[in-house]
Amino acid sequence: MKNAKFFIYARKSTDDSTRQARSIGDQIAEARELARREGFNVLETLVEKQTAKKPGRPIFNEMLDRIEKGEASGIIAWHPDRLARNSLDGGKVIWMIDTGAIEALKFPSYRFDPTPQGKLGLAIEFGISKYYVDKLSADISRGIRQKVQNGIWPQFAPVGYLNDRKTKIIIPDPVKAPLIRKAFEMYATGNYTLRQVRTAINDLGLTSKYNAGKVAVSKFQYFLQNPIYYGMIRFHGEFYAGKHEPIISKELFDAAQAVMSEKSKPKSNNLKPYLYRGQFHCGACGRLITTERQKGHNYLRCTKWENNCPQPYVREEKISEQVTNALRRVALPAEWADWMLGQLETEKAAEIQAAESRVQAIKDEIRIVEGHLDRLMTAYIEQVLNLAEYGEAKNKRMEEKHELEQKLASIEEHPSSIFEPIKTFISEAKQAGIAAESGTDEQKRDFFKKTSSNPNLFNRELRFEPRGAWKVVVNSRFPNPNETLAPASGASVVESCDENSLKRRGGDSNPRDGLIRQQHFQCCAFSHSATSPTRTSIGRKLPFRRKDGGASCPCGD
């Protein structure tokens, strides 16, 4: 063994001498003293400054490769934990001992013999070393989480802040914090790119913390998205309120995020701003309708990719007229919508009052059941009831109480929520009329998209199906003073009507009475008979009265 060649291997995880029990110099001195005392032939001294928590140390791997090639047959190190703190490296060392590539391991602080007991002890030492780093990592992670939850930034201070060793809280850097604030203010205007902000702020004196050089564009993008500057700590995707002083306001941060979000959207510079791009399909072949500009006008036509579709071109202006008429079909007149909303508010108030009464009644019932439970307990204690009788009676009362509590929760949660969808729909139906008469072409297009489905063009005519509850408005045919009964370029509604609805629309044997019935049905959402008016509205019955006490609809009938 004295003629065997050894490598001296010394390692520490960091260059900071205060964070390592044994310095590199101490390890080498102890190893050389051991080699001198035992008469070992040292081939080379290898020094590595890298953690052994993870595999991949280049000098350590090179040393093992050279041992496998026969350059040396042993290693001298201060302790087994200098060789490995992970399972892969520790296992490789033990395997090389098993195969005879490593004949000896020598440590000034630990005795190893290449016997089964010795290898077991070495494996235990490697396991203890791994346990130490794993526990240390868990302790550090726990400490970091605790700091974050307490509002303390757990790392080196970001650009614009300094670490206060006394309070452990980051404080604004008097030199860099104003520059960070200026960067947010510039970018939030939307008039500067990241590169322009970077150039301007770097010229004002912002430097990198580590190399005192210019801050890169990627760093600007990072800190412009970092909530630490308005007082929040983002840790593993969660936000915690920080105890440090903010550099900027939340409003300024949000403004910068809005600009960054807008600038990150892909720009389609090659797409022309056609009004109805991708809105319609061909009613004949089902292909997408495209738009092209000819002689100063936009024309819509079928794409005709795979067949020679015979559908003709149609001017964009004509389609816009039909979109306007389509909105008039689904619109409620403002005075009608206002009247319906008023009636809904009245009924909503009545519903809330009735709900309050029901809530109080259920609470009274719950108190009665609780009183029964108290008396059952007293009866059991006084031995009036045995355990089986008490349990049966108690379970029955508890079921009653549970049912009552469920009813109470359902009423208290949203006593008037049933009215909100109706109010929203009526308001939107009113806005459809306003958009049709005074909205921009873009507003009309967007409202039409909301109220219609399966829009297509066939023989220069816009066809569509009303979406959802909008069918009710179309079928009820509320009058609109700006809509003709049969517009020359009106949109065609694809709808299905039952036999009774067709009869209501003028199928009466009396021509005059039939005309009156048809016009009346078209002017409001209420169907009437000569002697007994019925109240029906969009999705819900609504109360209405004439001044003389009789039933009345808003048209005055």
How far does Cα 153 stand from its chain's mean position? 25
pLDDT at 63: 93
Instruction: Report the alpha-carbon distance of residue 275 to residue 281 in Å, rounded.
Output: 15
CB atoms within 10 A of CB 357: 10
Length of the chain, in residues? 557
Confirm if 285 and 242 have CB atoms less than 8 A apart.
no
Count each helix (H run) and each strand (E run) in the chain, helices first.
17, 15
pLDDT for 305: 59
pLDDT (average), residues 447-467: 86
Average pLDDT over residues 34-63: 89
Average pLDDT, the chain: 77
pLDDT at site 306: 58
Considering 8-17, 100-109, 350-359, the range whose residues carry the highest mean pLDDT is 100-109
Residue 331 in this model has a pLDDT that exceeds 50: yes
Give the residue extent of every domain in the chain: 5-137, 161-264, 281-325
- Among 207-211, 393-397, 490-494, name the one with the lowest average pLDDT: 490-494
5-137 domain in CATH 3.40.50.1390?
yes
pLDDT at 17: 44
Lowest-confidence segment of 200-214, 276-290, 377-391 by average pLDDT: 200-214
Q: What is the pLDDT of residues 418-439, one digit of tens each?
A: 677 787 888 888 888 888 888 8
Residues whose CB is less than 8 angstroms from the CB of residue 362 and which lie 6 or more positions away in sequence, other chains included = 404, 407, 408, 411
At the second CATH level, the architecture of 161-264 is Alpha-Beta Complex (3.90)
Mean pLDDT of 508-514: 36
Phi first, then psi, for residue 369 (nearest 5°) are -65, -40
Contact 112, 106 (CB under 8 A): yes
| Whole-angstrom distance, CA of residue 367 vs CA of residue 397 | 11
